[in-house]
Structure 1
Amino acid sequence: MTDPVSDSFDVRVLAALLDGEYAALRTRVKQLLIENADLITDSTEWPKEVYRERVRDVVLEAAKTGLTGSGFPVEYGGLDDFGGNVAAFETMALGDLSVLVKFGVQFGLFGGAIHQLGTKRHHDAYLADIASARLLGAFAMTETGHGSNVQALGTTARYDSATQEFVINTPDEASRKEYIGNAACHGEAAAVFAQLIVDGENHGVHALFVPLRRKGKTLPGVRIEDCGPKLGLNGVDNGRIWFDHVRVPRENLLNRYADVSPEGAYSSSIENPDRRFFTMLGTLVQGRVCVGGGGIQATKVALTIATRYADARRQFGVPGKPEVLLLDYGQHQRRLLPLIARTYALHFGQERLARDFKEIFSDPDASERRRRALESRAAATKALGTWHATNAIQECREACGGAGYLAINRFAALKADTDVFTTFEGDNTILLQLVGKGRLTDLRDEFGSLDGVAVARFVGRQAIETLAEKTIARAVIERVRDAARGHDEAEPGGDLLDHDYQLAMLRTREERTTSSVARRLKGGMDAGGDPAEVFSRCQHHLLAAAAAHGERIVFEAFLTKVQAMPEGPERDVMSQVASLHALSEIERDRAWWLERGRLSTERAKSITRAVDMLCRDLRRVAVPLVDAFGVPDELLPELLP
């Protein structure tokens, strides 16, 4: 019998929902990728030098067609549309990921640094050439000895008032710039982050525009080496850079937040050096926004390949009858459908993040609190999205068996090229640590302190929710017990599929882990413990609180999207997908709820049955769900003969 929901389900409705307001721009990017599909099919056979030149050519082609400057001001060839820039970058991830990263380095990192940290003199001098890719550049922040700890970078920029120049220097091997994209071959300049020293006083890390090459040759005092073969992304020319007392004009300081007068007087509109540093870094949040989105898009490619394969490949079955489709096996549904659901959730979480990014960066008067919230959301979403990419792509590879191991079928590149996403633009563990610290700051701001009374009030608010949830749980347990007496497979209580209940569970985990780590930190310091040691002991707890926060905001964004959809079969399917995502997350971490009395063993079992039920139910639309991701057929392999 034909399922009425799957029969009337229109994949185009979901595709339009996913593409959002930038559907036309995404279509243009997809066309560019289709025209350069040889990067996907042939690049494994190319020498490194050929691969890099082809990647550069695609970036130049994208610039010529106007796909690169959305985030730049109109007067420099852009559209003043930060959201469009993110959408174009994300969509690039459906194709060769070296192109994606080269694109991001040029227009997001290098161009973003000039745009966000520079002023009109820098914009006039460089932005039009950056947007058109006439000036290729690098983002020289990371050092061999200082990766995530940017505040401790070793490179120096010492001001010489006699010549009105900054002298850029690499004092030791640990201070060489490392893993710098666009450096090894194509970068003509870089945004270099260095300790700014004026009249013997160190004012902390600032950024300067520093030329690297002229007509393809490195400039005096600049030494560049190729980083060599990498795990992936070998179409990107990563290099390491040393500076030997390289002089640049005073005007090359990117001076939106601080400046140095010709005479050598340092000034800044932000007096506190720590606040100044984090404000500067906060303007570069675009990189994290884009990388998280890129990881999610790459996951869509893997899931599309694996799901279509599972809907066509047959294995085993009853003798004398056709073999069974992989996707009809319950375990195969379990492998793929929760990943599809999570990808939808992360997509809408990313969409909400991109919208916030666009609104805040288009508003020069946006408050510090709003910017801080954006940075936290970007860090959490990037961490969850890129870890999901790593896990999902591996699962999809395994789900395709030997076919998934062949390079032609894309999993080799998807695995290798996305692996670094978990550590660049911020190591995910460090990012979640920042999110966790931000949550503690929010708690302090809400209640004025982290003393016992404040924490008690925070926890007390949860107690009411706990009581309500246990009341629901008792009723459900009785229904499950009744059903179990008469049936092998009892349909779980309807309230399991209640999105309010699912959200309340995720919110409770978030708030309880946050309040718990706050108590531990305060208790340790009240007992006279060294703050650094106390923090180190609680670090894993803080990361759990941050991850719980990220999971909640992602699911909340998903629900907001579902609730805004018009009534119809597409909304019904999306509601089921949302439930599968939430219940899969609760099932995954069920030990946490069981240990704290938030779930009974019967309730936990009913959640597992609900996940099984949703996987069986959504199997009917599994292929349309991945078709809605919109990966062009020209970018997908044919795994079956």
Structure 2
Amino acid sequence: MNAISALVHTDPGRAETAAVFGHELFRHREGLTHRQHCELTYQRMRLLNERLPAASALLEKPRTLLTALETAAVVSPSLFLAMTIHYCLSANAVAEFGRGRADLAPYVAELDSMASIGTLVVTEIGHGNSHLAIRTQARLDRETGEFVLHTPDPDARKFMSNNGLPGVPKIGVVYARLLDGDTDHGIFPFVLRLRGPDGTPPGIRIDALPETTDLPLDYAVVEFTHARIPRHSLLHDSAVLDADGVLTDPLGPQLRLKRSLTVRENAWLASAAALASVARAAAGLALRHAGVRISRSRFSAERPVLGFRPQQQALFGALAETYALTCLVNRAKQAWTEPGGDDPLWTPGAALGRTLGLAKAAATATAGRVTTTCAVRSGAHGMFAVNRLAGYRGLAHMLNPAAGDGRLIELDAGRALAEGEHYTPPSVARPAGFEPADPATVRALAAWRERRLHEQLTGDLALARRRGQDLFHQWDNRLPLACRLAEAHIRRLELDCFAAAVEAVPDRRARAALEPLLAWHALARVEADLAWYVAEGVVTAEQAAALPTGFHRLCEELLPVLPELAGALELPGAVLDSPIAGTGYGEVYRELP
């Protein structure tokens, strides 16, 4: 592995883990029905389960799990989603909230063997991703010790979990409001069988949702009608349900919900890692194709489309965003798998949880832009499923609302940053300007933007309070500003991670190849917020006008090192089977079944 590859791929066991995807079953299939596609996804999962550690063991090996999920995403986005739900959400919830409980061993065994697939059942159809409004009831029956799971109205039906395929047994972790008489103990997860080989248990109804071409899976609506579930279904965590049916919870309802949703952090990191992985695959495919797809203009002889400046600027920009996102995600993976250090943003705790959520939100936005750019710049070839770019765009779309909507994550983070929860804004003086060729000056601009947005948000909130506005109105008009602060925060961290990773490359030649890519990303961050910087007076009109010249210069610097930068992405073999990955793509289409 060369120095640039080592910057991109930080898991030393990556090759061994990725090799398990070499089976014929992972090759692209044409002409499948929606049901066949869903069945293939679960067949692939079970094959991987034979070649990888079981779920309970894999959760103890987060590096291996993340590498498997990253590879799954580029091979089959639907496979990645089903695996993430099974491992990071369902099995993880049982492990985390049922730790040390022998009565849960049958569920663990079924999830480990994949005799049943794990699902997560949280969102309700009438309330979007507002988990504060969960209305599904789990009422304690004191006489039997059971819980009675019930959907009180149609809007409370559970939405979008992958439980719709008949014949595939599913164990679900269902989030419901625990009620004991008139006492509401808050939201708890419950583990129960949702579907067996022959159907659903009494009181459970599952209706398949319409098909989707973006990310096919057996999505469904789940409804409970006084379904009786055993006492041990409650994943009570630190709460205690005594023999008389009395629940004592040291957290209380509000903190219990927050605790119950912490399993999302695993999925946030997995999603960010997967999105960085598909961005790399998309950039690698598009650059390969652009290097062999021939075109001409009125002013030149035939040449590859990558020989034209507009194509270079689009794809080099996608490549720079991909590297920056990869460095951010690699730092997050390190913080998750190798905890240590004294920076709260990168050590276990509430601040790291916030960072992981924002990394996921940023990754969905970046991967959405990168995969769309790469698909569009690949012409009509980008629309065919066999070339994978359409599937990667679908993954970016689907992962925005999955496990917590990206915008809601930003809103919550913006509120926490404004209130100083495990956070201090950057201590930086007003920049005197910036030098387009020096990313360090752009990093200073990014830190200044974060500080100024924090000052503006906290100042506006203080003014609203002085005017006597209630809490809703204090925040409502300032939510867009809160989102901008949260985005500025994670994009500043991303730029810092990219710069730190490049500075740490020991090989001088490799570092020199990476530096123009870092400079490109730095300029692009200024360009994205150019109006704000000019209004603040830290970027002059002359500097703004010079940005296009800076990108032209960087194109010339990147062209000679592009093979090394693109080659370091190291696309899996299944992706290299895509027609546009090779030179004779016209002939490859003829050979497709």
TM-score (ref. length: structure 2): 0.92
Counterpart position of 1:476: none
Q: Is the 8 A contact 2:335 2:346 kept in 1?
A: no
Counterpart position of 2:589: none
Secondary structure at the counterpart of residue 187 of structure 2? strand
Counterpart position of 2:25: 36
Q: Is the 8 A contact 1:136 1:182 kept in 2?
A: no
Map Cα deviations across residues 76-114 of structure 1 (whole Å, 9 max, x no partner). x44722232222212211111111111111112111111
Unaligned segments of structure 1, at least 5 residues? 1-10, 447-457, 474-494
Map Cα deviations across residues 197-253 of structure 1 (whole Å, 9 max, x no partner). 12320011101112223333211111111112024222x211111111111222211
Alignment pair present for 1:144 and 2:85? no
Matches within 5 A, 1:79-98: 80-98=60-78
Q: Which stretch shifts more, 300-309 or 258-267? A: 258-267
Q: Is the 8 A contact 1:30 1:92 kept in 2?
A: no
Q: Give the direction of change, closer, same or farther, for the CA distance of 1:385–1:368 in structure 2 (3 Å limit).
A: closer
C-alpha displacement at 1:406, in angstroms?
A: 3.1
Counterpart position of 2:226: 245
Counterpart position of 1:61: 47
Q: Give the direction of change, closer, same or farther, for the CA distance of 1:214–1:231 in structure 2 (3 Å limit).
A: closer
Counterpart position of 2:314: 335
Secondary structure at the counterpart of residue 282 of structure 1? coil
Q: Is the 8 A contact 1:102 1:182 kept in 2?
A: no
Which of 254, 258, 271 is equivalent to 1:291?
A: 271
Q: Give the direction of change, closer, same or farther, for the CA distance of 1:369–1:172 in structure 2 (3 Å limit).
A: farther
Q: Give the direction of change, closer, same or farther, for the CA distance of 1:51–1:406 in structure 2 (3 Å limit).
A: closer
Secondary structure at the counterpart of residue 582 of structure 1? helix
Which of 385, 405, 413 is equivalent to 1:435?
A: 413
Distance 2:444 2:345 in 1: 29
Alignment pair present for 1:626 and 2:563? no
Which of 50, 62, 70 is equivalent to 2:36?
A: 50
Distance 1:381 1:103 in 2: 20
Q: How many residues in Structure 1 have an aligned counterpart in Structure 2? A: 577
C-alpha displacement at 1:527, in angstroms?
A: 0.7
Q: Give the direction of change, closer, same or farther, for the CA distance of 1:634–1:222 in structure 2 (3 Å limit).
A: closer
C-alpha displacement at 1:119, in angstroms?
A: 2.4
Counterpart position of 2:326: 347
Secondary structure at the counterpart of residue 496 of structure 1? coil
Q: Is the 8 A contact 2:164 2:209 kept in 1?
A: no
Matches within 5 A, 1:136-535: 136-185=117-166, 186-234=168-216, 236-270=217-251, 272-317=252-297, 322-359=301-338, 370-442=348-420, 462=428, 465-466=429-430, 469-470=431-432, 495-535=435-475
Q: Is the 8 A contact 1:227 1:239 kept in 2?
A: yes
Structure 1 or 2, whichever has the larger Rg, is: 1
C-alpha displacement at 1:552, in angstroms?
A: 0.6
Q: Is the 8 A contact 2:171 2:194 kept in 1?
A: yes
Distance 1:577 1:120 in 2: 49
Distance 1:84 1:400 in 2: 33
C-alpha displacement at 1:562, in angstroms?
A: 1.6
Which of 75, 81, 85 is equivalent to 1:105?
A: 85
Q: Give the direction of change, closer, same or farther, for the CA distance of 1:27–1:627 in structure 2 (3 Å limit).
A: farther
Alignment pair present for 1:585 and 2:525? yes
Q: Give the direction of change, closer, same or farther, for the CA distance of 1:68–1:603 in structure 2 (3 Å limit).
A: farther
Which of 576, 579, 586 is equivalent to 1:638?
A: 579
Distance 2:284 2:272 in 1: 19
Map Cα deviations across residues 431-465 of structure 1 (whole Å, 9 max, x no partner). 1111111211327975xxxxxxxxxxx79x54xx2
Alignment pair present for 1:616 and 2:518? no
C-alpha displacement at 1:275, in angstroms?
A: 2.1
Letter in 1 for 2:192: V
Secondary structure at the counterpart of residue 230 of structure 1? coil
Question: What's the C-alpha RMSD, in Å, of the aligned pairs?
Answer: 2.4
Letter in 2 for 1:193: Y
Distance 2:304 2:355 in 1: 40
C-alpha displacement at 1:280, in angstroms?
A: 2.3
Distance 2:263 2:41 in 1: 28
Q: Is the 8 A contact 2:137 2:150 kept in 1?
A: yes
Q: Is the 8 A contact 1:380 1:546 kept in 2?
A: yes
Distance 2:351 2:322 in 1: 23
Q: Which stretch shifts more, 400-409 or 424-433? A: 400-409
Q: Is the 8 A contact 2:88 2:263 kept in 1?
A: no
Q: Is the 8 A contact 1:158 1:167 kept in 2?
A: yes
Q: Is the 8 A contact 1:199 1:264 kept in 2?
A: no
Secondary structure at the counterpart of residue 349 of structure 2? helix
Q: Is the 8 A contact 1:307 1:622 kept in 2?
A: no
Unaligned segments of structure 2, at least 5 residues? 587-593
Distance 1:328 1:78 in 2: 45
Alignment pair present for 1:598 and 2:527? no
Letter in 2 for 1:304: G
Secondary structure at the counterpart of residue 240 of structure 1? strand
Secondary structure at the counterpart of residue 609 of structure 1? helix
Distance 1:616 1:633 in 2: 31
Q: Is the 8 A contact 1:153 1:175 kept in 2?
A: yes
Distance 1:259 1:146 in 2: 30
Q: Give the direction of change, closer, same or farther, for the CA distance of 1:79–1:293 in structure 2 (3 Å limit).
A: closer
Instruction: State percent identity of aligned pairs.
Output: 23
Q: Which stretch shifts more, 53-62 or 277-286? A: 277-286
Q: Is the 8 A contact 1:63 1:133 kept in 2?
A: yes
Map Cα deviations across residues 322-362 of structure 1 (whole Å, 9 max, x no partner). 413211211111101111111111111111112222245x9
Distance 2:402 2:14 in 1: 26
Q: Is the 8 A contact 2:502 2:515 kept in 1?
A: yes
TM-score (ref. length: structure 1): 0.85
Distance 2:59 2:490 in 1: 31
C-alpha displacement at 1:622, in angstroms?
A: 2.5
Q: Give the direction of change, closer, same or farther, for the CA distance of 1:368–1:248 in structure 2 (3 Å limit).
A: farther
Secondary structure at the counterpart of residue 573 of structure 1? helix
Q: Is the 8 A contact 1:338 1:615 kept in 2?
A: no
Distance 1:526 1:368 in 2: 35
Q: Which stretch shifts more, 499-508 or 276-285? A: 276-285
Letter in 2 for 1:211: R
Map Cα deviations across residues 356-386 of structure 1 (whole Å, 9 max, x no partner). 22245x99xx999942111211111111111
C-alpha displacement at 1:162, in angstroms?
A: 0.7
Q: Is the 8 A contact 2:513 2:565 kept in 1?
A: no
Counterpart position of 1:13: 3
C-alpha displacement at 1:532, in angstroms?
A: 0.6
